[in-house]
Chains A and B, each alone.
Chain A
Amino acid sequence: MTTLVTSRKQRRERHSGSIGRVIFLLTCALLTLGPVLWTLSTSLRPPGEAFDLPPQFLPLNPDFSSYTGVFEQIDMLRLVINSALVTGLIAVGQMVSAAMAGYAFARLEFRGKKWIFALILATMMIPVQVTIVPVFMLVRGMGLADTLLALIIPAIPTAFGTFLMRQYFMGIPAELAEAAQIDGASPWQTFRSIYLPLAMPGMAIVGVLAFNYHWNEFFRPLIMTISEENFTLPLGLVTLQGNMGTGSISVVLAGVILSMIPAFIVFLFGQRSLREGLTAGVSK
């Protein structure tokens, strides 16, 4: 009897506790999404109402003039193409090079392997800001100053991606390779037709991580590109905002929203890979 009462009481307490908890979490979720919703809603309002208070968080009467404005006032299309090229080629380059190197470090033997791998891991400690000046000089010496290639090529070798792919290949049983060996498969065949297909999810993680990082990257493009023709999205938007006397806040915000769409698509479909990638350093 008493136990029954306490358990009911406990349940009630737990229940109210859980309602309070969910309300608190919902408030936090609102604080997290609020700024983005306001941005979306403001981008869909006529520029004249952008600063009206109280603010609107839901776009009830969408006005798309700011979105056409983005394409009129800046070469939005070019920014998108540049960002897509830079991000896409870096992602593919990282996926391929990291898969190759990761496989070699996980499953092949060669002299100096441990030493080289340690060196690669050590480069993860070096922040990009420390090497940016020499990299800038290097790129200039290669005749790539102020080109998209100056953004792409130095970003392809990836220590983290190599590490990730090595872990991934180590998780694939070695017996598969042995069987292939006995069938007389060449090193390339073993890698390409046995291991690579099984490592696709790992490569997806590398790709999604690269996308998320480089699509949003600001520091390197700010330094490496001079001509407007070579700007990527974040840089173009910041410049649009900074220009004196031009544009309106709604137009700037419309640009911001447009630039979010690809990242949002990746978020919808690749959230799992992204989560795994971001937390990969910890779980292993």
Chain B
Amino acid sequence: MARVTNLATMTPAGRTRSWRIFAWILIAPTVIGMLLFTVVPIIGSLLLAFFRWDIMSAPEFVGLQNFAEAVSSPTVRVSFLNTIAFVVVAATLQLGIALMLAVLVQEKMPNWLRVFFRSVFFFPLILSAASVSIFMSYLFNEQFGVVNWLLSLVNIPAVPWLTTSSGSAAVIILVYVWQNFGFSFLLFLGGLSSIPKDMYEAAELDGAGGWGKLVHVTMPLLSPTTLVASVMAVINALQVFDQPYVLTRGGPGDSTRTAVMVIFESAFQKLEFGLASAIGLILMILIMFVTYIQFRLSRRFVFYQ
């Protein structure tokens, strides 16, 4: 960095100016785009949240009424509770499965096999959540689905997956985790490969077994990765929409309605744009709060080398 500054001061004044202009030209598309499609909209959302507007008639200032409605509406409240419950279960499963598989894949095995596992676990990430939800809806069909057929082989009676509250919540979590664990898996794999081998050798000398090495070497040294992986898993899970939209449309009842679904329905099915903005802002605050908490916790628990 210092070198570039040097270079700039070294060059004649006219040239410095042309470099500066050049810099502005280079960042212009991104900066203008960001202003137009993120900064302006976020301000717009902030304003819209205080109005009632259905596009057909003029916006009407309603103060905090949209927020009051969002907080008091049972559907909105349930959808946020659903979202939080979903995040807790899905992120835990996703991280747990990913960590376990990453540790197992990282251990000694032929390289081609490792590449195979890595590719397979990564594969669902390239599919669209909408398509995945389509085929999963057939697999989880109560009468004719493969999942219940497999269960029937071990004498478990047919589970009404998509037609009961608990069943559909379970399906959405399973489908979501199935598709996303590969992401955390990749992060853990990267984290594991950066742990120096001599740490394990030292632990072995101290008489640590496989479990001991996991608890005393892997986990502490992996904690920065775990932090990032969990922040990302939580933020992504908070925004879940595609799976419940395609699989259950939020039902039965409100049992699988998520925060983003309520934003979508308020805005584009009921044309309550102000209410949708208010709910969106609440979601954003939630996301920021969760991120903040996770980083705060990390100070206590994360072990930086």
Contacts and interface: CB of A to CB of B under 8 A. Distances in A.
Contact of A38 (B3, B20, B146): B146
A25 B117 contact: yes
**Interface class of chain B by DSSP:** helix
Contacts of A113: 23
B241 A134 contact: no
Interface string A24-41: 110011011101101100
A138 B41 contact: yes
B48 A133 contact: yes
Number of chain B interface residues as a range: 35 or more
Interface string B119-154: 111111111111110111111010010100100000
B137 to A, nearest CB: 8
Contacts of B120: 29, 32-33
Given A100-B30, A131-B41, A281-B232, A22 B190 contact: no
Interface string B95-120: 00000010011011100010011011
Smallest CB-CB A-B distances: 5 pairs: A157-B33, A216-B128, A134-B44, A134-B41, A131-B41
A33 B129 contact: no
Contacts of B23: 104, 108-110, 113
Interface of B: 3-5, 7-8, 11, 18-20, 22-27, 29-34, 36-42, 44-45, 48, 101, 104-105, 107-109, 113, 116-117, 119-132, 134-139, 141, 144, 146, 149, 178, 183, 186-187, 190-191, 225, 228-229, 232, 235, 238-239, 241-242, 245-246, 260, 263-264, 267-268, 273, 276-277, 280-281, 283-284, 287-288, 291
A234 B131 contact: yes
A162 B30 contact: yes
A55 interface: yes
Number of chain A interface residues as a range: 35 or more
Interface string A113-153: 10010011001011111111111111000000000000001
Contacts of A153: 33, 37
A21 B107 contact: yes
A39 B40 CA distance: 43
Contact of B113 (A22, A100, A174): A22
A230 interface: no
Interface of A: 14, 18, 21-22, 24-25, 28-29, 31-33, 35-36, 38-39, 42, 51, 53-55, 96-98, 100-101, 103-105, 107-111, 113, 116, 119-120, 123, 125-138, 153-154, 156-159, 162, 174-175, 177-178, 181, 186-188, 191, 212, 215-219, 222-223, 233-235, 237-238, 241, 249, 252-253, 256, 259-260, 263-264, 266-267, 271, 274-275, 278-279, 281-283
B249 to A, nearest CB: 9
A132 to B, nearest CB: 7
B146 to A, nearest CB: 5
Contacts of A191: 22, 26
Contact of A123 (B34, B108, B276): B34
A126 to B, nearest CB: 6
Contact of B130 (A237, A264, A267): A237
9 contacts: A18-B109, A25-B105, A111-B20, A134-B48, A186-B18, A237-B130, A271-B119, A275-B122, A275-B186
A130 B3 contact: no
A263 B127 contact: yes
Contacts of B18: 186-187
A123 B128 contact: no
A108 B36 contact: no
A55 B37 contact: no
A54 B31 contact: no
Contacts of A54: 149
B280 A32 contact: no
B181 to A, nearest CB: 9
A252 to B, nearest CB: 6
B7 A178 contact: yes
Contacts of A212: 125-126
